[in-house]
Amino acid sequence: MFKNSRVVPLDHSHTYGKGDDMNTKTKKYDASYKFGNTTVHVVAPPPISDEQKEIILEEFHRAGWAIWNSLSIEEQLKLNEEAEAEKA
């Protein structure tokens, strides 16, 4: 059907996307770990204020409650029973 199609096109060079950086040698990492031939660089998030942390936490809580409220009553009861059984 597609005689010359390829999974990875050979005529396009790599385009840099989110997370890619042409100057990786100048990047500063918070930690680096070497596992065999693999190096893992850890980059910490930028510092944020306590107010920003509180806003993010509230957003997480709202998202969690939205998920909970999207469940049927039966699903909520089942999850509550499972959580109580784990406590015992």
pLDDT at position 18 is 58
More confident residue, 25 or 86: 86
Nearby residues of 32 by Cβ (< 8 Å), 6 or more positions away: 39, 40, 41, 42
List, for residues 2-40, the tens digit of each pLDDT value. 455 455 555 555 555 555 555 555 678 999 999 999 999
List, for residues 32-82, the tens digit of each pLDDT value. 999 999 999 999 888 999 999 999 999 999 999 999 999 999 999 999 999
pLDDT at position 1 is 43
